[in-house]
Amino acid sequence: MPINSLSKFLLLGLILVLFVGCKSTKETTLLFVGSFTDKKPGKGIHIYEFDNKTGESKLKYTLDSVTNTSFLKLSSNGKYLYAVMESQMPYNGKIASFAVDSIQGKIDLINIQDCEGLNPAHLEVDKTGKFLVNSNYSDGSLSLLKVNSDGSLNPYSQLLRFKDSSIIKSRQESSHIHSANFSPDNKYLFAHDLGSDKIRGFSLDVNAQDSILQKGSQIKLKPGSGPRHFTFHPNGKFGYSISELSGKITMFKYKNGQLEFIRDYLSYQQKQEMYRAADIHVSPDGKFLYASNRGPKEDSISIFSIDNKTGELILVGYEPTYGKHPRNFAISPEGDFLLVANQFTNNIVIFKRDKKTGKLKLQNEIKVNSPSSIQMKSY
């Protein structure tokens, strides 16, 4: 065979090998579910392999003998999973760090640290992956822990406690930090205090040894709001808060560590004597916003389109969650599905999401006890 022909033959062979190799590398999407375990050791974390085309799932792993692993947070690279443990107990909760085996679809414990507060309800990791902030609901506190390069957690390096109250005495007799979010530029942190109707702002100094979080401005919401969860728009210009007690979504403009109030939107379709709004997320493309509403007369997902220029919301509609008490929900990495954890009916409902209209269509269901937190990642 002539040299030129041989070279072409070898080149074609190499291309074929590379093509076959690429085709055999299948992307895997994992679904991580955290659950309440009725305040005793039980099956607290379930991991499923999720099919991004059909919305079907296959159970890969269950973590047993853990108590109330009610909130999960993945690191941005998906290598580590962090979980609150022993939430809603009469003593300090804990935070666990796990290494994620994306090939086997399982997790391995790295270490556990005391969260230095009662009832840890939310975890957030900063953009560098070096800091984790834990929100303690029952005693109104924030604890910050440094994350090592291997995903392990150091003991807390900073603890902030708050004393405050507001007008709904049954729920706002004291501060209740329900969640905290780092700003898109990773220079600030915003903590949502349900008990005082405040969003507490902090500057983030990643080079500081001790006082990494420095107190900044406070945003006062309308009395009786009860701010619970928050999300930034992917463009970094807008932020949206969901208030549990008023059932309202509050839109803000964001710039240089400042949240500027724009307007409120009712998340519920029906007026309630008592509201229990829960979670809020923006679709990956930034075109739609979703919020979960937990009874008492309406268990639903509210759907809004987002004006790309102004960030304002336009109501699209509502979708029942086909279960009770939708505490947390998540949008799949590609944006094709929305999954809702119905805590009181022991089911996760999977909706197909129309990317053009934002509307939801019932697709599948997973039966699992007391689901309360969902995380997803494609590997």
Question: Does the pLDDT at position 16 exceed 60?
Answer: no
Q: List the structure tokens of 49.
A: 């392999």
User: Could you tell me the pTM of the whole model?
Assistant: 0.92
Radius of gyration (C-alpha) of the chain in whole angstroms: 22
More confident site: 25 or 273:
273
Per-residue pLDDT band for 8 (boundaries 50, 70, 90) equals: low
Question: Does the pLDDT at position 350 exceed 90?
Answer: yes
Question: Does the pLDDT at position 12 exceed 70?
Answer: no
- 188, burial (CB in 10 Å: exposed 0-12, middle 13-18, buried 19+): buried
Residues 6+ apart with CB under 8 A from 172: 165, 166, 194, 195, 196, 197, 224, 226, 245
**pLDDT on residue 17:** 44
Q: Is the peptide bond before 184 cis (omega within 30 degrees of 0)?
A: no
**pLDDT on residue 163:** 95
- Mean pLDDT check: name the lowest of 10-19, 130-139, 243-252: 10-19
Query: pLDDT above 90 covers what percent of the chain?
Result: 91
**pLDDT on residue 243:** 98
Helix (H, G, I), strand (E, B) or coil at 32: strand
**pLDDT on residue 185:** 95
**How far is C-alpha 304 from the geometric centre of its chain's CA atoms?**
19
Question: How far separated are the first and last CA of the chain, in Å rounded?
Answer: 44
Torsional sign, CA 269, 274, 278, 282: positive
CA–CA gap between residue 349 and residue 365 (Å, rounded): 5
